[in-house]
Structure 1
Amino acid sequence: MQTVAVLDFETTGLSPAQGDRATEIAVILLRDGQIVARYQSLMNAGRRIPSDVVNLTGITNEMIASAPSVSKVMREAALFVGKHPVVAHNAGFDRRFWQAELALLRMSADHSFACTMLASRRIYPHAQSHRLSSLAEMLRLPKSGRAHRAMVDAEMTSHLWHRLQDDIAQTYGLSLVDHALIARVQATSKAKVPTLLRSLNGGPRSDQAASHSKPRSCADEN
């Protein structure tokens, strides 16, 4: 039974290479579709948040001023993630900030990332949009609050991850759809994904991805 760390950042901008910094992080530990632990915190990296980002996320400079230091939060987050493989939506973005913030602390950030956006483009190629909120609406995934807050987005990504696992398993008759397999799917061209997945178990149960009509979600263990 594999545990993955589903991660989401809110930041001051798009690129740490341009001086942008993290303002919030959320991490969910997900095991067999169940949320088993959570970590979330705002963080103060001494970087002012532009007004357009404040409007998008609702995270204000006043909130950041009283938040814990980025070094404290990132050390805690790294300890929480441990050695687990990481999942994120548009993972290239989150991975850049994960690596940049941990590099400033001289901490290892060599985690394996899988991307629910790239995987969904291959498993749900006919979706009108592969943005997280659009996929959540299409697949009827639960929503717990305002998008562009780290924990809300991490929860939606967790639900999407589990749905991807379910749909791949049901469509192609696979008993194990783990982080390594989805990472392999996301790195395969759309046209070749069905052939790849058929080859793992002799063929899918149907030529179409599993039905999008029934919501499947991750449940909290409290």
Structure 2
Amino acid sequence: MPRTRIHLTPAEAAARGLRCRTHLKAEHLMPGPGARPVGSVWQGRGAYYVYDPSDCVPWFWEPGPAQQRRQSIAAQARELIDSACLVLDTETTGVGPDDEVCEIAIVDAAGRPILDTLIRPSKPIPPEATSIHRITDEMVATAPSWPEVAVLFASIVAGRKVVAYNSAFDDRLLMQTHQRHGLPSPVLTTTCAMQMYAAWNGEWDKRRDGWRWMKLIDAATYCSAAEPGAHRALADARMTLGVLRYLQRCKSGRRPPRRTS
């Protein structure tokens, strides 16, 4: 008994006016909601489905997962800027558990400085820290100590959304600085621009099992937001705001082409 044939030939499909997805797209059509293939065509080593054009609707494009992720980040950046967020950056005596802030800057969503001051720490600034941010003991000798700035800082950030690049580091060093002087640390509502940009950039770090973090200067350069004076608090706060503004502008979720010059 001969085996029943389950596939159409290309000529049979064409005679019935059936279309595969490639042909439908060329005609600006796509299967409608719930539309099912009416047959399959054998060609070479495999088969493809074909559809009745009467079951199809005008073709429309849907963003893929990467573009949807970028759209979500752009919406988050837009919400932060529309809510008049503040952007903060600190420079510190180091990165350890007993280090403290030696410079702080806060700008508003328009880029205007709200706070920009050196801080006189309770111990000398190590040379390795000075080699990064260029802040010396001589520069902070006449600067206010943290207790002289803490009340103003708390009043500025109270009830405000605060954005920082690597906010976990700034949060920790601010808390350590408050604790060193026996002061209560205000509760900050912070968002990390570094993590936002990492997710938008979309490079996967297998070692961390997460999106690859980028240095602020690298992200700002890509976003055309780099400024002179990197690793000083005001310049870094402004570059962080520039990255946030860039993400806000990319509302389509499409990655702009890289500049070649």
TM-score with structure 1 setting the length: 0.70
Aligned residue among 210, 223, 230 for 1:139: 223
Q: 1:91 and 1:14, CA in 2 relative to 1: closer, same or farther beyond 3 A?
A: same
Aligned residue for 1:210?
Answer: 255
Q: 1:20 and 1:108, CA in 2 relative to 1: closer, same or farther beyond 3 A?
A: closer
Aligned residue among 150, 154, 159 for 1:78: 154
Aligned residue for 2:166?
Answer: 90
Aligned residue for 2:242?
Answer: 159
Larger Rg: 2
Distance in 2 (alpha carbons) for counterparts of 1:116 and 1:80: 20
Q: 1:150 and 1:37, CA in 2 relative to 1: closer, same or farther beyond 3 A?
A: closer
**1:82-104, CA deviations, whole angstroms, 9 ceiling, x for partnerless residues?**
21111100111101022233344
Distance in 2 (alpha carbons) for counterparts of 1:13 and 1:141: 26
Aligned residue among 172, 188, 205 for 1:111: 188
Distance in 1 (alpha carbons) for counterparts of 2:86 and 2:191: 10
Aligned residue for 1:170?
Answer: 252
**1:158-184, CA deviations, whole angstroms, 9 ceiling, x for partnerless residues?**
1111212222x232xxxxxxxxxxxxx
| Preserved contact between residue 217 and residue 230 of structure 2 (Cα < 8 Å) | yes
TM-score with structure 2 setting the length: 0.60
Q: 1:142 and 1:47, CA in 2 relative to 1: closer, same or farther beyond 3 A?
A: same
Q: Which has the higher contact order (CA 8 A, sep 6+)?
A: 1
Letter in 2 for 1:165: Q
**1:31-58, CA deviations, whole angstroms, 9 ceiling, x for partnerless residues?**
xxx2244210001122111111112111
Please say if 1:29 is aligned against 2:108.
yes
Taking only the aligned residue pairs, the percentage that are identical comes to 28
Q: 1:78 and 1:121, CA in 2 relative to 1: closer, same or farther beyond 3 A?
A: same
| Preserved contact between residue 105 and residue 117 of structure 2 (Cα < 8 Å) | yes
**Structure 1 portions without partners, runs of 5+:** 172-208, 215-222
Letter in 1 for 2:147: S
Q: 1:66 and 1:36, CA in 2 relative to 1: closer, same or farther beyond 3 A?
A: closer
Greater fraction of residues in helix? 1
Aligned residue among 80, 91, 94 for 1:10: 91
